[in-house]
Structure 1
Amino acid sequence: MAEFNKDDYLNDLPDVDDFAADAATSAPAGSAPDADASAPEDDTAAPASEAAAAGDQADAPASDGSTAEGESAENEDTLTPLGKAKQEAAEYLEALQRERAEFINYRNRAAKEQERFRQHGIIDVLTALLPALDDIDRIREHSEMDDSFKAVSAKIDKAFEKFGVEKFGEKGEEFDPTRHDAILHKPDPTADKEIVDTVVEAGYRIGDRVIRAARVVVASPQA
Structure 2
Amino acid sequence: MAEFNKDDYLKDLPDPDDARDTAASSAPADTPADAAAAKQSAPSDESAKTSAPSSAESAQTSAPSDEGAGAANAATEGETSGKTDAAGKDSDNTLTPLGQAKKEAADYLEALQRERAEFINYRNRAKKEQERFRQHGIIDVLTALLPALDDIDRIRANSEMDDSFKAVAAKIDKAFEKFGVEKFGEAGEDFDPTKHDAILHKPDASAEKETVDTVVEAGYRIGDRVIRAARVVVSSPQN
| Alignment TM-score, normalising by the size of structure 2 | 0.66
What's 1:164 paired with?
Answer: 180
| Rounded Cα–Cα distance in structure 1 between residues aligned with 2:195 and 2:226 | 7
Contact 1:61 1:67 in 2 (8 A): no
| Rounded Cα–Cα distance in structure 1 between residues aligned with 2:136 and 2:78 | 64
| Rounded Cα–Cα distance in structure 1 between residues aligned with 2:198 and 2:225 | 19
- Runs of 4+ in structure 1 deviating by more than 2 angstroms, as ranges, are 60-64
What's 2:91 paired with?
Answer: 75
Aligned with residue 211 of structure 1, among 227, 235, 239: 227
What's 2:148 paired with?
Answer: 132
**Do structure 1's residue 197 and structure 2's residue 213 form an aligned pair?**
yes
Deviation at 1:222, TM superposition (A): 1.6
Aligned with residue 100 of structure 1, among 116, 137, 156: 116
| Rounded Cα–Cα distance in structure 1 between residues aligned with 2:77 and 2:144 | 78
Whichever residue aligns with residue 103 of structure 1, its letter is F
Contact 1:185 1:220 in 2 (8 A): yes
What are the Cα deviations for residues 12-65 of structure 1, in whole angstroms up to 9, with x where unaligned? xxxxxxxxxxxxxxxxxxxxxxxxxxxxxxxxxxxxxxxxxxxxxxxx996322
Instruction: State the Cα RMSD in Å.
Output: 1.4
**Which one has the bigger helix percentage?**
2
What's 2:103 paired with?
Answer: 87
Aligned with residue 117 of structure 1, among 133, 150, 153: 133
Whichever residue aligns with residue 142 of structure 1, its letter is N
Deviation at 1:95, TM superposition (A): 0.6
Gaps of 5+ in 2: 1-75
What's 2:17 paired with?
Answer: none
What's 1:8 paired with?
Answer: none
Gaps of 5+ in 1: 1-59
Deviation at 1:109, TM superposition (A): 0.8
The aligned length equals 164
Deviation at 1:68, TM superposition (A): 1.3
Aligned with residue 157 of structure 2, among 125, 141, 156: 141
Calculate percent identity across the aligned residue pairs: 79
Instruction: Rate the CA distance shift 1:192–1:141 in 2: closer, same or farther, 3 A.
Output: same
Deviation at 1:190, TM superposition (A): 1.3
Whichever residue aligns with residue 89 of structure 1, its letter is A
What are the Cα deviations for residues 63-121 of structure 1, in whole angstroms up to 9, with x where unaligned? 32222111111110110111111111111111111111111111111111111111111
| Alignment TM-score, normalising by the size of structure 1 | 0.71
Aligned with residue 171 of structure 2, among 131, 138, 155: 155
Whichever residue aligns with residue 179 of structure 2, its letter is F
| Rounded Cα–Cα distance in structure 1 between residues aligned with 2:229 and 2:77 | 78
**Do structure 1's residue 64 and structure 2's residue 75 form an aligned pair?**
no
